[in-house]
Structure 1
Amino acid sequence: MPAEPSQILLQKHLTLAETHRAHFRYEKALQLLDDALHMPNLSPADSNSIHLRQLAYKIEAAWLYNRLDAEFAALHSQLKVIHADALAHHQRPQVADALFLTARLHHFNLFEAKSPDLDGIEKRWIEAYSCYHDLDDSRGMAESLFYHGLLYQRFRADHEAAYGCFHRARNLIEYQPYPIELAEILRHTGYVYHQRGDLIAAHACHEQAVAYLNHSGFRVYLPLALYALGMVLMEQGRLDEAGPHFEHGLAVAEEAPPNILHIGALLGLGDFHAKTGDLALARDTYQKAQTIADALNATRSLKMTADKLAALPQTSV
């Protein structure tokens, strides 16, 4: 029986690695990519692409388990090496991907950074977008625009500038097969609508984001989308519908070891219990979130849980 063509075998490895990543199995995904690097007749461009995918998974896992501070220097160094190699060999797609991942690494590190360089990271997103634009890579352009918008939304509190980026990003890929990217764009567009007070539009965005993630089978961002949908339903007074979304989000987060998704899911569920008047259950849920945040040394999450616990009315014994 003849051996499979190398590109077909490589694609099988990449697809299976992506499936493992989608279900929080980062070690298995990275091992498959490592195996792919040892395939015969691998081109230099393919080799760099696989290395970049490995780094993308490592960055995502480091964000998920709040290890970016410890792993930042090593990840940054590896990205510089691959960027330089891709540049030397005129591998333009790999150059763009290396710039994108470097920007993403710096962006993720903002969540725990004491002195964030917002201007520097904004320049990185503009540079990544420009490289993808030169390649006519709509997915790369959309992702760069999305993170640029996220910078405005999360760290500059400029929701309208964020909306402009999200709108452009969505237009680039709305009718293309990128459900994970579309789900994230829709989730954060929903937050803008929520901030404007347009709960109907926010609900539509969050519901669509959940549908995209369910259809794609990508579990990692699903708790975030379910949290967003639950929050807007709760604000609409649709508590019977909101509760199951918070519970589902926590169940998905629990498919992995304790991580920052657990914290967000527990905070959402705690808010739901507080809203329905079950203060004891709300306190217990917030305390579970606090325990995980403490174990992960997630300082921002620790402050959030402490604030929520302090805001609960004291029950008499």
Structure 2
Amino acid sequence: MTTAGAPALPVGADPVLEAAFVTGDFDAADRALADRLAVARGAGERGAEAALLHWQAMALHYRAIDAGLSSLAPETIEAEEALFTEALGLRRSIDDRAGVAESLFGLGLVHQVLRGDWDAAEPYFFEALTEADEHADLLTRSETHRHVGFFHLVVTDRHDVAVGHLRHSLALRQELGDPRLLATASLALGQALLVAGERSEGVAVLRESVEQAGSGRLRPLWATMTADWLRRAEAGETPSFARTA
């Protein structure tokens, strides 16, 4: 959870982030979202309904990462995509520009992460970035800069541009103040710095990532990943972000 006085997370985000990064208990997240969704629908709160649909999709997304992306069934991908699409439609209908940015980003995730299709993901991420920078919350802005940064690492090979986006993504998470979200942002920046030839800073940022994983109580999936990449970087390895689609 964010600390007292810190900026708010998007509606529906907290139980999903807690499950994804700390507890692994997605069933608890699903129950919390379903309960809140029923209340929102009963009250006719379409903005909250759309936000909760979006985070139901994000819960599916993190479950998919847990299960292993190489073995996903098509219907699993389609279920996540359908929720993001429903949320986006609702948000467009009420002119919720911040929400539109968040759900455009979600659809980009489906294409990039689940399908490995950067060409399909690109327009969603870049439209999300434009909307997010003007209208959205800190987490949505951080996420869109993060994945546009990855786009430049993988697709354009503009490593300096990638580093800029990933550095900004980390800064936004630092401003948000949620300790669960820092380690993976530092990991991404550290890896990008290694690719850009900035090995000394890259290793230093990866060390920070390991420390942040501990202070954020991250589950082994993430804590092991950060520690492994620090070890590999200290041994002289540079990440490869070769495009697969």
Verify: 1:103 aligned to 2:57, yes or no. yes
Q: How far is the alpha carbon of 1:121 from its aligned partner?
A: 1.1
Do the aligned partners of residues 201 and 246 (structure 1) sit closer, same or farther apart at CA in structure 2, a change above 3 Å counting?
same
Identity %: 23
In the alignment, which residue of structure 1 is the partner of 2:158? Answer: 198
CA contact (8 A) 2:21 2:218 kept: no
113-122 vs 126-135, greater mean Cα deviation: 113-122
In the alignment, which residue of structure 1 is the partner of 2:230? Answer: 269
Residues 138-196 of structure 1: CA distance to partner in whole angstroms, max 9, x if unpaired? Answer: 12111111121111111111112222111111111213462322111111111111112
| Structure 2 residue matching 1:175: 3-state secondary structure | helix
Runs of at least 5 residues in structure 2 that lack an aligned partner in the other structure: 239-245
Verify: 1:19 aligned to 2:3, yes or no. yes
In the alignment, which residue of structure 2 is the partner of 1:255? Answer: 215
Cα RMSD of the aligned pairs, angstroms, is: 2.7
CA contact (8 A) 1:152 1:159 kept: yes
For 2:167, which of 207, 213, 218 is the aligned residue?
Answer: 207
Verify: 1:76 aligned to 2:30, yes or no. yes
Residues 187-209 of structure 1: CA distance to partner in whole angstroms, max 9, x if unpaired? Answer: 11111111122212211111221
Q: How many positions carry a matched residue from both structures? A: 230
Q: How far is the alpha carbon of 1:270 from its aligned partner?
A: 1.9
Verify: 1:92 aligned to 2:46, yes or no. yes
CA contact (8 A) 1:233 1:242 kept: yes
Verify: 1:138 aligned to 2:83, yes or no. no
TM-score, with structure 1 as normaliser: 0.65
CA contact (8 A) 2:2 2:178 kept: no
Do the aligned partners of residues 21 and 63 (structure 1) sit closer, same or farther apart at CA in structure 2, a change above 3 Å counting?
farther
Runs of at least 5 residues in structure 1 that lack an aligned partner in the other structure: 1-16, 23-28, 30-51, 278-317
For 1:63, which of 20, 27, 36 is the aligned residue?
Answer: 20
Structure with larger Rg:
1
In the alignment, which residue of structure 1 is the partner of 2:243? Answer: none
Give the aligned residue type for 1:61.
E
CA contact (8 A) 1:180 1:218 kept: no
Q: Write the mapping of 1:106-125 to structure 2, written as runs, cut at 5 A.
A: 106-113=60-67, 115-116=72-73, 117-125=76-84
